[in-house]
Amino acid sequence: MAQHPNERDATDCPRIRGRYLVPATGEVKPARCGTCKCGWCGPRLALVTAWAIQLANPTWSAVVTAGEAQASEAELEGQVRQLQEAIRELTADLRARGHDWQAVWVIEVSPRAILHAHVLQRGTRVPPPLFLARCRAVGLDWAAIRPIGRLTPLARYVLKGAIAGLDLSVPRAVGLMRRHLLLNGGRLAHSTRDFWTDEGGERLGGVREARTAALRARSRTPQSEYRFLPSHRLRPDGARP
Ligand SMILES: [Zn+2]
């Protein structure tokens, strides 16, 4: 992928186009590109997406695996499409059995090269043996589901493939975002239609609206809570493939 001319020594979004005024506060802010593929904006969008997941308040954490990841990008993309299709089938299957299933999921490759998805669900409890059986029925290798203990670190953990870019230089973060977007069909995360909510549990239209709600909720919290956790401190909360 061609590198943007400003990316080599960027310490901010390399595609800032002027500034804009925030009428409510009178602040003047740089107009950053705000795209996921950006080495500066992408990891920050991912962190805000983790905050939005916290607002949606999922209560169950699942991991589903789909075998060894292919080395070639073209084959990996095909494998990712199959995994996405399996998750869609699984969602339909569980709903047909009467389960309330709203979820967000993120695909990654483990250090042992296993392609897998982290799925965070809000809705009814699916017994683990049933979950595993239904996952196998849609062609997945292995699956586990358990209650979420602490949502804050888990929401960041599932997006660590992109959030880790906060600790990297902008050019290196570009590579990280590219990999994350390849594994996730050009998005930070996938979700069912009614997953995203505000603090009060009211349904929101989608992830963009949810990120806006998350930023608004954060703007009411003390400044001390703004600190970014270094991504190496992110810890899993659930079975690991
Ligand atoms: Zn940018």
Residues with CB under 5 A from ligand 1 (ion): 13, 32-33, 38, 40-41
| pLDDT band at residue 214 under the 50/70/90 scheme | very high
Percent of residues, the chain, with pLDDT higher than 70: 88
* 60/237 Cα distance (integer angstroms): 11
Give residue 165 CA to ligand 1 midpoint distance, Å. 13
| pLDDT band at residue 56 under the 50/70/90 scheme | very high
Q: What is the mean pLDDT of the chain?
A: 89
Each residue of 142-199: pLDDT tens digit? 999 999 999 999 999 999 999 999 999 999 999 999 999 999 999 999 999 999 999 9
Rg of the chain taking only CA atoms, in angstroms:
18
Tell me, what's the pLDDT at 218?
85
Give residue 182 CA to ligand 1 midpoint distance, Å. 18
Give residue 173 CA to ligand 1 midpoint distance, Å. 11
Distances (CA, A) of 232 to 34, 81, 217: 24, 29, 25
Each residue of 70-99: pLDDT tens digit? 999 999 999 999 999 999 999 999 999 999
